[in-house]
Amino acid sequence: MLLTTISSLALENDYQTSVRLFLCGENSFTNRGEIKLIKAIRGNDYLYSVRIVRRTPPFDANEEEIRKEEVALWATYLRKISVCDGSPDHPCPQPEAEAESQGNSSQ
């Protein structure tokens, strides 16, 4: 059984972005449970996706199998991932060391 528990749609760096949490109590190929957090970004020419997967013993997808703190950690990591092309509409973030040397706060 597959259950989507969290989903969000937003614009990040002016690109359409979706983040979804999937709970699969038992994968029919591996016979194990899977918890996935997937971020998809629709760029100008490509669709980009990043996923974090944790495999577990089989579980009931209707019962909470993952701690909220773990999901928050994964989400914090995925928030740092974005698509950019250097244009004014989609600027690339400055490396932290460069931003600090220019007196800017890091994002």
Structural domains in the chain (count)? 1
Q: Taking 50 as the threshold, does the pLDDT of residue 106 lie above it? A: no
Query: Is 89 contained in some domain?
Result: yes
Q: How confident is the model at residue 61 (pLDDT cuts 50, 70, 90)?
A: confident
Domain that holds residue 48: 2-101
Higher pLDDT, 7 or 72: 72
Mean pLDDT of the chain: 84
Q: Say what the pLDDT of residue 64 is.
A: 65
Q: How confident is the model at residue 99 (pLDDT cuts 50, 70, 90)?
A: low
3-state secondary structure 9-78: EEEECCEEEEEEEEEECCCCCCCCEEEEEEEEEECCCCEEEEEEEEEECCCCCCCCCCCHHHHHHHHHHH
Q: 1-11 pLDDT, tens per residue? A: 566 666 788 99
Query: Is 106 contained in some domain?
Result: no
Query: Is 18 contained in some domain?
Result: yes
